[in-house]
Structure 1
Amino acid sequence: MKGGLFNIYKMEEKSIKADKISKNKEENIEKSSSNTQDFRSLDKGWSWVIMLTSFGTLCLIGANVYGVGIMHDVLLERYNESVSLTSWAGSIHTALTNLAAPLSSFVADRFSCRTAVMLSGILFAVGYLGTAFAPNVQTAIFTLGIVAGSGAGLGTTASMLVIGYNFKRKRNIALGFVCSGMGAGLFALASLMHLAREYYGSTGFFIVQAAMSLNIVVFGATYFPSKLEKHAQEMRIFNNVDALPNGNTNLRFIEVYKQYFKALNNKPIFLLSFGMFFYCVGTHLIYLHLPVYIVHKGFSKTQASYMVSLKGIFAVIGRLLTGFVASLHKSVDIWLYSGSFLVLSVATIVYPHISNTLAGNIGYAVVLGLFFGSCYVLITSVNLSFVDIKHVSAALAFEFFVGGIGSLLGPEFAGLLIDSGGTYEQAMTFAGGCLFIAAFSSILTKCFHVDSKTGENKIIWKFTRRKEMRET
């Protein structure tokens, strides 16, 4: 009996010592994580190489994702199926750019951003090669939509995350440059995509797309993990594994998801996710159906491809300017973020009334290029206002996932509307309304701030907080 009590006492003593060591280790980790300027590799050295290769990665992904309208037109001619059925291939492709964000976040957290991007290039190549030889539109929906779309999701999210792990003071400038790659790729490659289609037919077109996408693997190979990325992974491993010394796999699995729910269980992240849903409903509806709409208004397919290219070059300018302006003062991030939604909303509602003229189409292409995608330059910084570095991948993954649902529903709604007797003009007006809701939802996050005094980064309703401060 005494021996049993003695053993219990010794086990409790060891447990107390282990808890103290664990607590001290956690305090050291958290202390260092709040001081990312201690990581001397940030903002210099190999970080700039990663910025350049991330730009190249998003060039290719941008051409693939935002050139989906050209692919949609190819599939319509190839299979001669209904607009709504054929739209599934393109809408799933663009939707998975966001829907696959949790998968990208998981791969990046579990392995590295490098692994996620290299896998992205492989999936793109396999998906496009499968589409080149797809016997029917149903097969193309799987190969182009699901396989290639998963590649888009893996590469996009990881290429943004890797910038957050390599930059701090110049993060907005770096993200502005990297995100402009999506517009640059669209500008540079949209016309080439059109030429590949004209010279090589639908089969050769997708083979060329597969070959170009393999360059993503080369770019991804340069994403060597920075000290901050390794440190964030160490924090997650410590929280998820060391906190469970009994080695229970099920409990560890639960702990992993607890870490993600910590990032999601706050109102600003919910509002940003809600806004991202309506933003993606509107913008992906536009990008899928705009080339066909321009042709429907009496312009040629070549002119339509030039309009897509025009959006691309102005997207480069818009994202670079957004990153530069945001770097001047951190407090403007959310205003630029939601303001881009509002400008797109007004322009899209007006567009059907001026789409009969060449000047009207050019004007809309310029506005769409300047403001579409500006939110992606700022989304990491906006999220870091409400979550810490170890949870930012979870927050981004959730927002992109919710946005992906919108990306899937928007184009399909337009396809069903047109097949049932509706018009493209009505679809565009609907897209503008969705963008307005996105702007309103995002700006509501200004009503909240983080109360760091509690040590738990608690989200507080700002106006109530100010009232309490005046009363005291």
Structure 2
Amino acid sequence: MAMAASKKGLSDSPPDGGWGWMIVIGCFLVTICTRAVTRCISIFFVEFQTYFAQDYARTAWIHSIVDCATMLCAPLGSFISNHVSCQLGIMLGGLLASAGLILSSFATSLEHLYLSLGVLTGLGFALSYSPAIAMVGKYFNKRKALAYGIAMSGSGIGTFILAPVVQLLIEQFSWRGALLILGGFVLNLCVCGALMRPIAIKEDRQNVPEFPEQEFEVQEQDLKPWSACSPLIKVWSHKCLCQCSWQEYKFLLMPDFVVLAVSVLFMAYGCSPLFVYLVPYALRVGVSHQQAAFLMSILGVIDIIGNITFGWLTDRRCLKKHRYVCYLIAVGMDGLCCLFLPVLQSFLLLVPFSFTFGYFDGAYVTLIPVVTADVVGTASLSSALGVVYFLHAIPYLISPPVAGWLVDTTGSYTASFLLCGFSMIFSSVLLCCARLAKKIKWTASRSAESDADAKQEIWTNGTMAYSVTGELDQKGVELLTSQANSYTKR
């Protein structure tokens, strides 16, 4: 099936347009149906807490489990996309996510919601999210950052639109009816999956493991005595699986990817708690409920602007070679915003914070798949994104409870926000140090090569001078000999 798919969309290079814009639209809708719906689950918290008579801590685990399951199962989505079909993977994810939301509308306990809304819906989102993002990278090269900016803006736009709609649905049909309608809405992932037309580019064909043709040319009479569990078949299939797995995940040994993966852990830890605790912090410092909600709206809208504008800017010729640096600057700026947050204790001071944090949050979210593609290449992008989003899982799961524990222990939000800020700054500094070390190593190797070339040139010139001198001496001897012979004859 994979070979047939590759034959349908055979291309020497990404088309940078055409059907690629339909892929961008499909990915945009996927981010609405996955990330935006995940953010809107927090609107159900008060309803769940009131209906099941549970505290905030136990209810908050629902959101953590959804986020964790989405990122933890991202490699599974990449595996299905690579070995079966990207279209089938996204459609299967839509069915699972829809089933989880529909089953959640019949929940009788929080444990039921942990499994249906947390695990099952999160698994469905995982099967859809990373393959859709990887498909954008396969269709775009020159305008990759802009394409990702448009596609990833679905998270902010979806949150901005869905949040009041979900609240209206809860008021009209209760939380059970709202979850049932959301389950039907998420079925649109199946439509998005149908848009993901497969394409195989030159880089993909170069990374496909080649097996000798004689291994596949087996006569019918040779197949008859073989059973389905023949040891020879097992050995051959194991060999094929190992070679395919090595081709897909050999980027794990790349030093650049290892550094990026470690930095992602600290970045994910730092960014998650702010979305949970910004509104409670604003209420504690005297901001009204309407103003606190407006801060989140500002953050969501500016997040969209950051997605698109930063993607467009980093596609310009002057910045295209420096997208890695732009990414680490965006992460570092969000970290600085978190460090200054404890001293911002009025609505007028928190508004600029929402603008700044929202813009740079949208910026680095757009650049995550772009930087990953620059590090590992387009052929390994799907598998690499699966690993990158997998690394988000544990920080997303533990960072909100840890931040809450710090608030309960210290009685303020200062320690929580400082830890988030330093975590994101460390992520940026780690990438910066790795880039500087690589540049120093490259400069040293270039200087060594230039010294070697200079020595080679000196040695060559010396050899040529020596040979020319020898030839002149030889001609001088021959001249003297001829003169002596002529004198003797006389």
Shift of 1:145: 1.8
Q: How does 1:69-84 map to 2 (within 5 A)?
A: 69-84=42-57
Unaligned runs of 5+ in 1: 1-35, 451-459
Instruction: Please give the alpha-carbon distance, in whole angstroms, between the structure 1 residues aligned to 2:58 and 2:166.
Output: 23
Shift of 1:149: 1.5
Instruction: Please give the alpha-carbon distance, in whole angstroms, between the structure 1 residues aligned to 2:324 and 2:443.
Output: 17
1:254 alignment counterpart:
242
Identity %: 23
Shift of 1:449: 5.8
Amino acid at match of 2:111: Q
Instruction: Please give the alpha-carbon distance, in whole angstroms, between the structure 2 residues aligned to 1:201 and 1:60.
Output: 21
**Conserved? CA contact 2:11–2:199, under 8 Å:** no
Matched, 1:173 2:162: no
**Conserved? CA contact 2:36–2:155, under 8 Å:** yes
Matched, 1:430 2:411: no
Shift of 1:115: 2.1
Amino acid at match of 2:405: L
How many pairs were matched up? 424
Instruction: Please give the alpha-carbon distance, in whole angstroms, between the structure 2 residues aligned to 1:366 and 1:178.
Output: 21
Q: How does 1:89-100 map to 2 (within 5 A)?
A: 89-100=62-73
Shift of 1:212: 2.2
2:310 alignment counterpart:
322
C-alpha change, 1:340 and 1:189, in structure 2 (3 Å) is same
Task: Please say which of residues 376-385 and 331-340 is displaced more in the overlay.
Answer: 376-385
1:269 alignment counterpart:
257
1:9 alignment counterpart:
none
1:402 alignment counterpart:
391
Shift of 1:302: 5.0
Q: Which has more radius of gyration?
A: 2
Give per-residue Cα distances to partners, 1:17-51, cap 9 Å, x unaligned. xxxxxxxxxxxxxxxxxxx9834x71222111221
Give per-residue Cα distances to partners, 1:169-209, cap 9 Å, x unaligned. 22111111111121111122222223333333322232232
Instruction: Please give the alpha-carbon distance, in whole angstroms, between the structure 2 residues aligned to 1:406 and 1:414.
Output: 11
Give per-residue Cα distances to partners, 1:339-388, cap 9 Å, x unaligned. 1111111111212322x422233322222321114223223332333323
C-alpha change, 1:421 and 1:448, in structure 2 (3 Å) is closer
Q: TM-score, normalized by length of structure 1?
A: 0.81
**Conserved? CA contact 1:187–1:309, under 8 Å:** yes
Matched, 1:38 2:12: yes
**Conserved? CA contact 1:69–1:287, under 8 Å:** no
2:448 alignment counterpart:
468
Matched, 1:309 2:289: no
C-alpha change, 1:272 and 1:219, in structure 2 (3 Å) is same
Amino acid at match of 2:334: L
Matched, 1:138 2:111: yes
Give per-residue Cα distances to partners, 1:55-87, cap 9 Å, x unaligned. 122123231233343344443333343333322
Instruction: Please give the alpha-carbon distance, in whole angstroms, between the structure 2 residues aligned to 1:131 and 1:222.
Output: 28
Task: Please say which of residues 335-344 and 410-419 is displaced more in the overlay.
Answer: 410-419
- What SS does the corresponding residue of 1:311 show, helix, strand or coil? helix
C-alpha change, 1:47 and 1:325, in structure 2 (3 Å) is same
Instruction: Please give the alpha-carbon distance, in whole angstroms, between the structure 2 residues aligned to 1:209 and 1:364.
Output: 32
- What SS does the corresponding residue of 1:238 show, helix, strand or coil? coil
Matched, 1:341 2:331: yes
Instruction: Please give the alpha-carbon distance, in whole angstroms, between the structure 2 residues aligned to 1:280 and 1:239.
Output: 38
* Runs of 4 or more consecutive aligned structure 1 residues displaced over 6 Å after TM superposition: 240-246
**Conserved? CA contact 2:65–2:397, under 8 Å:** yes
Shift of 1:448: 6.2
2:428 alignment counterpart:
439
Matched, 1:359 2:344: no
Instruction: Please give the alpha-carbon distance, in whole angstroms, between the structure 1 residues aligned to 2:28 and 2:256.
Output: 29
Give per-residue Cα distances to partners, 1:291-332, cap 9 Å, x unaligned. 444445555555544433322211111011111111113222
C-alpha change, 1:192 and 1:62, in structure 2 (3 Å) is same
- What SS does the corresponding residue of 2:128 show, helix, strand or coil? helix
Task: Please say which of residues 70-79 and 407-416 is displaced more in the overlay.
Answer: 70-79
**Conserved? CA contact 1:273–1:400, under 8 Å:** no
C-alpha change, 1:113 and 1:291, in structure 2 (3 Å) is farther
Instruction: Please give the alpha-carbon distance, in whole angstroms, between the structure 2 residues aligned to 1:176 and 1:241.
Output: 43
**Conserved? CA contact 2:153–2:303, under 8 Å:** yes
C-alpha change, 1:337 and 1:307, in structure 2 (3 Å) is same
Instruction: Please give the alpha-carbon distance, in whole angstroms, between the structure 1 residues aligned to 2:370 and 2:137.
Output: 9
C-alpha change, 1:441 and 1:370, in structure 2 (3 Å) is same
- What SS does the corresponding residue of 1:58 show, helix, strand or coil? helix
**Conserved? CA contact 2:12–2:201, under 8 Å:** no
Instruction: Please give the alpha-carbon distance, in whole angstroms, between the structure 2 residues aligned to 1:187 and 1:423.
Output: 29
C-alpha change, 1:73 and 1:62, in structure 2 (3 Å) is same
Shift of 1:439: 1.2
Shift of 1:162: 0.7
Give per-residue Cα distances to partners, 1:405-444, cap 9 Å, x unaligned. 2111212212433455654443222211211122112223
C-alpha change, 1:263 and 1:305, in structure 2 (3 Å) is same
Instruction: Please give the alpha-carbon distance, in whole angstroms, between the structure 2 residues aligned to 1:287 and 1:94.
Output: 13
Matched, 1:371 2:360: yes
Instruction: Please give the alpha-carbon distance, in whole angstroms, between the structure 1 residues aligned to 2:32 and 2:346.
Output: 30
**Aligned with 2:131 (options 158, 167, 172):** 158
Shift of 1:152: 2.5
- What SS does the corresponding residue of 2:142 show, helix, strand or coil? coil
